[in-house]
Structure 1
Amino acid sequence: MKLYYAPGSCSIGTHVILEEIGKPYQSHEVNLAGGEQFSEAFKQINPKSKVPVMILDDGTSLTEWIAIAGYLAVTNPEANLLPQDPLDWARATEYMVHCNCTMHSHGFARIRRAERFTPSGDEDDEETVRGQGRRIFNDGFALMDEVLQGREWLLNHYSIADAALFYVSFWADVRGAATMPPNVAAHYARMKSRPAVQRALAIEGFA
């Protein structure tokens, strides 16, 4: 397997899952700042021009964070990263979607890339968009904080959903995107104590 990633992007959560599984894989750093994601070579791998991308052993290309996380969990059941109970499985998906599709795509994206949501190019409009992003991002943490009340992980045991929450929490910490509420901050600290997370951070240059 080969993971195409960019340091500090959502692919850091994918790196965490791969390190938890513990099987050999390769990593290829994509230079987003230099526009590598828009090159013809990369678009042959992922026409969406974004990371993460997972190339499977048979050459198949798999994109989208949740799809990659689910595939890795299902194909490595011994790692116990996805619940067997149907409701818990649905909850894991629910939490990943909220982190990836709401907090990330609607919240953090507005904070970091406000110009994408303001075609007028007006600076006041961009600040309004950033404010919307901060509210979405903070509201997401508030919901995750409630889920974590009285528990260590989002489900009854560690799962790929925790890797999703980790990467948005990482942005709150390293990118200064938000202040994590208490339960989320404690979850983030537990994640950072895991050897797999430490290895993932080291790979991406954040050790």
Structure 2
Amino acid sequence: MPDIKFFFAPGACSVAPHVLLHEAGLPYEPIQYNYAATEIQFPADYTALNPKRRVPVLVVDGEVITELPAVSTMISQLAPEKQFFGKTPLETVRVYEWLNYLSGTVHTGTYGQMIRPWRWTTDADPKAHERVKDKARERLVENFAIIEDKLQGVYAVGDGLTAVDPFLYILYRWAKTRSGIDLSPYPKYTALVGALEKRESVKTVLAKEGLEALNV
């Protein structure tokens, strides 16, 4: 078995690959960093590991892998029988289509502005930060409408769990706990989240990270 180290922060986007590691049954060394308000507290030597100073990071036999889609891809390659990137070539394309949208648009482009608005403006006025957050909430509603429309079954792609589903889970979780938006217009998305919380992998990760189930 490869030597795996997994760097994460409780409740961060790293929840998604954390779930995949448990779905795959891969042994790994967990390395947890915690939050100070909205920023993760990284030790000084973390910059040498990941100059971006973000999670998740996966280290496999000394190879450092960053960025959630890349980390998820590596986990999938370590457990190909789990088919985390789909069962057919088209499903694999759909998984990457989802991951690019969720990572670039929803996670960075929307939640990045909502949670850390000061990164998106040179204006230090707290009122300007609130305006950035208000616009991000508008975009989140648009994002979730697109997600709801794309969902067709229990899972995002095909008839089994892929790398997309735990990523969708954490994005919904943030909406539930941080955004204040009404989630009732998204019954398919809510059903997916409810189905995921019944899986042992998700229950295990929530317990390890000290998070309460949403129980939607």
- The aligned residue for residue 65 of structure 2 is 62
Counterpart residue number, 1:183: 188
Question: Deviation per CA, 1:18-64, whole angstroms, max 9, x where unpaired?
Answer: 11101111111113428642x431111111111111111x2111100
Contact kept, 8 Å, 1:7 with 1:205, in 2: the verdict is yes
Q: Which amino acid aligns with 2:199?
A: R
The equivalent of 1:194 in structure 2 is: 199
Q: Check 1:196–1:35 CA distance in 2 against 1; reply closer, same or farther (3 A cut).
A: closer
Query: Is it true that 1:168 corresponds to 2:171 in the alignment?
Result: yes
Counterpart in 2 of 1:153?
155
Report whether the alignment pairs 1:206 with 2:207: no
- What RMSD, in angstroms, separates the aligned Cα atoms of the two structures? 1.6
Aligned residues: 204
Structure with the higher helix share, 1 or 2 = 1
Query: 2: distance between equivalents of 1:70 and 1:134?
Result: 30
The answer to whether structure 1 residue 110 and structure 2 residue 113 are counterparts is yes
TM-score, normalised by the number of residues in structure 1 = 0.92
Is the contact between residue 9 and residue 40 of structure 2 (CA under 8 Å) also seen in structure 1?
no
In structure 2, the residue matched to 1:46 is: 50
More displaced stretch, 132-141 vs 194-203: 132-141
Summarize deviations over 1:123-156 as a string: whole Å, max 9, x none.
Answer: 232122112211222211111111114x111111
What is the one-letter code of the residue matched to 2:84? L
TM-score, normalised by the number of residues in structure 2: 0.88
- Distance, in Å, in 2 between the alignment partners of 1:132 and 1:176 is 12
Flag the 1:59–1:21 CA change in 2: closer, same or farther, 3 A. same
Farther-moved stretch of structure 1 (171-180 vs 132-141): 171-180
Task: Pick closer, same or farther for the CA change 1:120–1:4 going to 2, 3 Å.
Answer: same
1:81 lines up with 2:84 in the alignment: yes
* 1:72-110 Cα deviation digits (max 9, x unpaired): 112211112111422211111111111121111011111
Counterpart amino acid of residue 11 in structure 2: G
SS at match of 1:68: helix
* Distance across 1 between alignment mates of 2:103 and 2:51: 20
**8 Å CA contact retained: 2:76, 2:82:** yes
CA contact (8 A) 1:166 1:191 kept: yes
How much does 1:167 deviate? 1.2
> In 2, Cα distance between the equivalents of 1:162 and 1:87?
17
Structure 1 residue 18 corresponds to structure 2 residue 21? yes
> Any unmatched runs of 5+ in structure 1?
none
CA distance in 2, matches of 1:35, 1:84: 36
Kindly indicate whether the alpha-carbon contact (under 8 Å) linking 1:8 and 1:204 is maintained by their aligned counterparts in 2: yes
User: What runs of 5+ residues in structure 2 fail to find an aligned partner?
Assistant: none
What's the % identity of the aligned pairs? 28
